[in-house]
C-alpha cells in the first residue's frame, strides 16, 4: 500500500486526529493507498498556513519572472515524473494509462508553463484622460485561493486552477476529490522540490460535505473559491460562499450536443463523435453525450458509429492498449448502470453496449429515446450516448439548446456559413466545429446555464484570481 499525506506549510503531514481512508483501484476493486483523512480542523490549519504565506511570505511579492522560473521548474518536474503521476491517476480512478501519459500529465505541465508566461507578458490597461489625469489597472493577487477538484481529470483539473492562481501571486489550498487523492500529494511534493516557498501550495484530503470541502468554502480567510464538479455541488458551494461574499468560479456538469449534418465528412465526424463520448469512459464534462444526426445520413452514420464503438478495447487501464477502463468507483458504476435501466423503462433501446465485468460499462448507444427522456436530459457521466435524428438546421439548434446544461456543443458540416450560424445560435460556453477538445488556453472556458458561473483561461483566469484595482493619478494640475 502506498501512503499519501496532506501537504501543509512545506511538510507532508497526517491528520490532526490521525484518521486515514483507503483509495480503491476500480480495476482490482481493492484498496491500493492509505490517505490522510482530513477534517475541518486540518482545513483550517492549511488555510492559516496559506494566509500567513500570503500576508507575510515572499510569494506575492516576487516578480513575475521569479515566480515564473519556479513554476517552469515545477512543470519540468511534472514531465520528469510523468509515469508516477499517470499511474497515480489511473490507479485511483481507472482512466486508461495511454490517456494519463499522453494527455493529462503533459497538459498539467503545460498549464504551469502557459500561466507563468501569460502572467509575465500580459499588459495591463492605462486610460489616458483628457483632463490632466490618467488611470491604470493593477492586477493584484486576490489572496488565499481554495481549489476544489473533481475525480475525472484529477491532476489536470487541479493544475488548471492552481497554475493561474499561483502565477498571479496567490497562495492555494487544494482539496482533491476523495476518489483521486494521490496525484495532488505528488504534485505538492514536486512543488517543494521545485523551490516554491512552504505554505504556497497546500493540499488537504478529505470529504466535501460537513468536512474539509465545507470548511474551505465557509472560511472568511479564503479570498477565492474555484470549484469544478457537479451542478448540485456547485449550488451548495455558492450558498456557503455567499456567507462571506467570497467570489466563486464554478465549472459544472454538461450534456454536450453533437450535431452531425448530412454534408459532413462522415469518417471524420464518426472519429470525433466516438472520442467525444467514449474517451475517459465518458466521464468528461464536455462529453458529446447527445448525438443528433441529420435524417438523410442517420442509418449510415449509426452503423459506422456502432461498428467503431464495438471495436474499442476494454480492459485493465494500466495496459497501454486499453481504451475503455472501469468507471471510477462502485457508486458511480451503479449510477451509470442504473441509467441503462432508466432508458429501457422509458421505452428506448440499447442499440449496443451494456454492462461488462467488474465496474466496466461497454461503449453504449441508446436509440429511440425522446428529447424529454431522462437519458437525453440528465448527465449520465459514463460511456453512454443517446442518438437522435433531426430534420434541418432549426431542429438541430433547438434540440441542442433544449437542455438545462450549456457547457459545450459540436457541429460537423462542410458548410462554413452554417458552422458559424449554428455556433452563434447555441447557448453554450464552447462550440467545436469539425473537431472536439482542442484548446487554446487563452480562450474563455466555462459554461452557460447550469454548467457554470464565470470563465477561466488566459485573461479570464486573471480577472478571477486577482483584485483588479484602478489607480487614478493627476499628471498636471490644471
Ligand atoms: P462532485 O461530486 O461535485 O465533487 C467535486 C468536488 O467537490 C470533490 O472534491 C468533492 O469532495 C467536493 N465537494 C462535494 N461536496 C462539497 C461541499 N458541500 N463543499 C465543498 N466541497 C464539496 O463532482 P465529481 O463527481 O467529483 O465530478 C464529476 C462532475 O464534475 C460532473 O458533473 C462533471 O460534469 C463535472 N466536471 C465539470 C468540468 C467543467 O470544467 N465544467 C470538468 C470536469 C468535471 P468529495 O467528493 O471528496 O467529498
Ligand atoms: Mg460526484
| Distances, alpha carbon 398 to alpha carbons 252, 386, 431, in Å | 22, 16, 15
**239 alpha carbon – ligand 1 mean position (Å):** 15
| Residue from 109, 105, 50 nearest 82 by CA | 105
Percentage with pLDDT > 70 across the chain: 100
d(CA 199, CA 176): 17
**148 alpha carbon – ligand 1 mean position (Å):** 7
Known catalytic residue at 435 = no
* 237 CA closest ligand 1 atom index: 19
Q: What is the mean pLDDT of residues 446-462?
A: 98
**339 alpha carbon – ligand 2 mean position (Å):** 16
104 contacts 156 by C-beta, under 8 angstroms: yes
pLDDT at 149: 98
pLDDT at 478: 56
Q: Please, where in the chain does CATH 3.40.309.10 lie?
A: 257-433
Known catalytic residue at 285 = yes
pLDDT at 369: 97
Return the best residue to mutate from 233, 284, 409 for the ligand 1 pocket (most ligand atoms within 8 A of CB): 233
pLDDT digits (tens, 9 = 90+) for 194-212: 999 999 999 999 999 999 9
Q: Which CATH class is domain 257-433?
A: alpha beta
**Mean pLDDT score across all residues of the chain:** 98
228 lines ligand 1 (CB under 6 A): yes
261 lines ligand 1 (CB under 6 A): no
HSE at residue 404, side-chain half, CA atoms within 13 A, is 13
CATH number for region 2-252+451-471: 3.40.605.10
pLDDT digits (tens, 9 = 90+) for 284-316: 999 999 999 999 999 999 999 999 999 999 999
Neighbouring-strand partners of residue 228: 251
pLDDT at 476: 78
pLDDT digits (tens, 9 = 90+) for 125-174: 999 998 899 999 999 999 999 999 999 999 999 999 999 999 999 999 99
Give the three-class secondary structure for 392.
Answer: coil
Q: Please, where in the chain does CATH 3.40.605.10 lie?
A: 2-252+451-471
* 236 CA closest ligand 1 atom index: 18
Residue 323 grid coordinates: 481504451
pLDDT at 85: 99
136 lines ligand 1 (CB under 6 A): no
pLDDT band at 372, cuts 50/70/90? very high
Q: What is the mean pLDDT of residues 34-54?
A: 98
What ligand is nearest to the CA atom of residue 154? 1
Structural Rg of the chain based on CA atoms: 23
Amino acid at each position: 500500500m502506498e501512503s499519501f499525506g496532506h501537504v501543509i506549510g512545506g511538510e507532508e503531514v497526517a491528520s490532526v486526529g490521525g484518521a486515514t481512508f483507503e483509495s480503491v483501484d476500480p480495476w482490482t476493486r481493492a484498496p491500493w493507498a492509505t490517505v490522510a483523512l482530513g477534517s475541518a480542523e486540518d482545513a483550517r490549519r492549511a488555510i492559516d498556513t496559506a494566509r500567513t504565506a500570503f500576508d507575510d511570505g515572499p510569494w506575492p511579492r516576487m516578480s513575475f519572472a521569479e515566480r515564473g522560473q519556479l513554476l517552469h521548474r515545477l512543470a519540468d518536474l511534472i514531465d520528469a515524473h510523468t509515469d508516477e503521476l499517470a499511474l497515480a491517476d489511473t490507479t485511483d480512478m481507472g482512466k486508461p494509462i495511454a490517456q494519463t501519459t499522453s494527455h493529462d500529465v503533459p497538459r498539467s505541465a503545460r498549464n504551469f508553463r502557459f500561466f507563468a508566461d501569460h502572467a509575465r507578458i500580459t499588459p495591463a490597461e492605462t486610460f489616458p484622460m483628457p483632463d490632466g489625469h490618467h488611470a491604470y489597472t493593477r492586477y493584484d493577487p486576490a489572496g488565499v485561493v481554495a481549489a476544489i477538484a473533481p475525480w475525472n481529470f484529477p491532476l489536470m483539473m487541479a493544475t488548471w486552477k492552481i497554475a493561474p492562481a499561483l502565477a498571479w501571486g496567490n497562495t492555494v489550498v487544494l482539496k482533491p476529490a476523495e476518489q483521486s487523492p494521490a496525484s495532488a500529494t505528488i504534485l505538492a511534493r514536486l512543488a517543494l522540490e521545485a523551490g516554491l516557498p512552504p505554505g504556497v501550495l497546500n493540499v488537504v484530503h478529505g470529504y466535501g460535505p460537513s468536512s474539509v470541502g465545507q470548511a474551505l468554502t465557509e472560511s472568511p480567510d479564503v479570498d477565492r473559491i474555484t470549484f469544478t464538479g457537479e451542478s448540485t455541488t456547485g449550488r451548495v458551494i455558492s450558498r456557503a460562499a455567499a456567507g462571506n461574499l467570497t467570489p466563486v468560479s464554478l465549472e459544472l456538469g454538461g450534456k454536450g450536443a453533437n450535431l452531425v449534418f448530412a454534408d459532413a465528412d462522415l469518417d471524420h465526424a464518426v472519429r470525433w463523435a466516438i472520442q467525444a463520448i467514449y474517451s475517459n469512459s465518458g466521464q468528461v464534462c464536455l462529453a458529446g453525450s447527445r448525438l443528433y444526426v441529420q435524417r438523410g445520413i442517420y442509418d449510415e452514420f449509426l452503423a459506422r458509429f456502432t461498428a467503431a464503438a464495438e471495436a474499442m478495447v476494454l480492459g485493465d487501464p494500466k495496459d497501454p492498449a486499453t481504451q475503455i477502463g472501469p468507471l471510477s468507483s462502485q457508486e458511480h458504476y451503479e449510477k451509470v448502470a442504473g441509467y441503462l435501466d432508466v432508458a429501457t423503462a422509458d421505452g428506448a433501446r440499447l442499440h449496443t453496449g451494456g454492462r461488462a465485468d467488474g465496474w466496466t460499462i461497454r461503449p453504449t448507444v441508446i436509440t429511440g429515446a425522446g428529447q424529454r427522456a431522462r437519458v437525453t436530459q440528465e448527465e449520465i457521466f459514463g460511456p453512454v450516448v443517446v442518438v437522435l435524428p433531426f430534420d434541418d438546421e432549426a431542429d438541430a439548434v433547438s434540440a441542442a439548446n433544449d437542455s438545462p446544461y450549456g457547457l459545450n456543443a459540436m457541429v460537423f458540416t462542410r458548410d462554413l456559413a452554417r458552422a458559424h450560424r449554428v455556433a452563434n445560435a447555441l447557448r453554450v460556453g464552447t462550440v467545436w466545429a469539425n473537431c472536439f477538445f482542442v484548446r487554446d488556453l487563452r480562450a474563455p472556458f466555462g459554461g452557460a446555464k447550469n454548467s457554470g458561473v464565470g470563465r477561466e483561461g488566459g485573461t479570464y483566469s486573471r480577472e478571477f484570481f486577482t483584485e483588479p484595482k484602478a489607480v487614478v493619478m493627476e499628471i498636471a494640475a490644471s
